[in-house]
A = this chain, B = another copy of it.
Amino acid sequence: MSEPIESKPRWERRKDARPQELLAAALQQFVERGYAATRLEDVARSAGVSKGTLYLYFENKEELFKAVVRENIVSSIGEAEQAVAAFEGPSAGLLRAILMQWWEQVGSTRLAGMTKLMMAEANNFPDLARFYNEEVITRAHGLIASVLARGVARGEFRPHDPQALTPILVAPVIMLMMWTHSFVPCDPKVDDPHAFMNDFIDQTLRGLLPPGSVVP
């Protein structure tokens, strides 16, 4: 919708550019409507080509979907991993920074739609699920867990098993993304994502206070 129309004249498109344009159009449709409800005709039209052309590049709807997912899971996790490694200072700040960055770079962008898409369709596309799990989820969890472990090691967080706590800790961010792409249109219970993130981080850090400390 907010995507500017490609202004290049049709006959000048380069062969190599085609698949990218198709994937971009498909991404938008899939994110907007889900897998089943996305009509290939809409994808084609939104990419400015005919339905038949899609089949020149992708065997069928399923393969197109898989290609979309693979293409768009270019995790910016790598950067985050480096940022964590280089960070100096209190772990609470690190955790806050990491989560806020996540929200800003992923959760509040179109990529959040991919997350929702994956949750919604993982069951129907097991190999995609495996792929996504390895490339994204496992690494992201590892990153969070490493921050937790750092906090524990430095005595800033209460002792706990970071691997176990990570999914719990991460859940609200993911839910916020999913919420935005599901129920918000019919009832925006969570109308201020920023406030949500702040409250969430506050509550989380309180829960991590080491024993013996006095609650502020």
Contacts and interface: CB of A to CB of B under 8 A. Distances in A.
Contacts of A208: 203, 206
B167 A124 contact: no
A190 B163 CA distance: 9
A2 B44 CA distance: 40
B164 A199 contact: yes
B34 A196 contact: no
Contacts of A123: 32-34, 181-182, 185
Contacts of A181: 123
Interface stretch (A4-12, A15-23, A70-78, A130-138): A130-138
22 contacts: A34-B123, A120-B182, A122-B186, A123-B182, A126-B186, A129-B182, A129-B186, A130-B187, A132-B183, A137-B189, A160-B199, A164-B196, A167-B172, A167-B176, A167-B179, A168-B203, A172-B172, A174-B175, A206-B207, A211-B215, A212-B214, A215-B215
Interface of A: 32-34, 36-37, 116, 118-124, 126, 129-130, 132-133, 137-138, 141, 158, 160-161, 164-165, 167-172, 174-176, 178-179, 181-183, 185-187, 189-190, 195-196, 199-200, 203-204, 206-216
